[in-house]
Amino acid sequence: MPNYLFRARYTSASLKAMIENPQDREQAARSLVESAGGTLECFYFSMGEDDVMAVIEAPDDATASAVSIAIGASGAFAGGGTTKLLTATEALAAMKKAQAVLAGYQAPAE
């Protein structure tokens, strides 16, 4: 199954709620992902631009998008994104395909 990197920034209201009532957000994320037919591979709070990073495994892009849309619709986050991840084997296959595609490509003339 494909893997996806999910990153998000909590709203200030969500952060305030977690300070006032500390809670296990990993379990909440796991339940949401599993309800869509996916698996939560890992879940991290992070320091920097994003507050949360998670890797999920989903059967397809539509499922990963559904999870992302549902999380976005919750109102708990101010932003973020979902990125499809490639295994090293998939990246190698893409490089080989790019090699064949590039052979017939003509770059713009200077």
What is the residue-wise DSSP string for 84-99? EE--HHHHHHHHHHHH
Tell me the three state secondary structure of residue 9: strand
pLDDT at 32: 95
Q: Confirm whether 109 is domain-assigned.
A: no
Q: Provide the residue range defining the domain that includes 66.
A: 3-103
Residue 86, domain CATH: 3.30.70.920
Q: pLDDT by residue (tens digit) across 78-95?
A: 999 999 999 999 999 999
Report the phi/psi class of residue 80: left, alpha or beta, with left for phi > 0 and alpha for psi in -120 to 50: left
Q: Which two tokens stand for residue 9?
A: 């920034």
Q: Per-residue pLDDT tens for 6-63? A: 999 999 999 999 999 999 999 999 999 999 999 999 999 999 999 999 999 999 999 9
For the chain, how many structural domains are there in total?
1
Cα–Cα dist 24/13, whole Å: 17
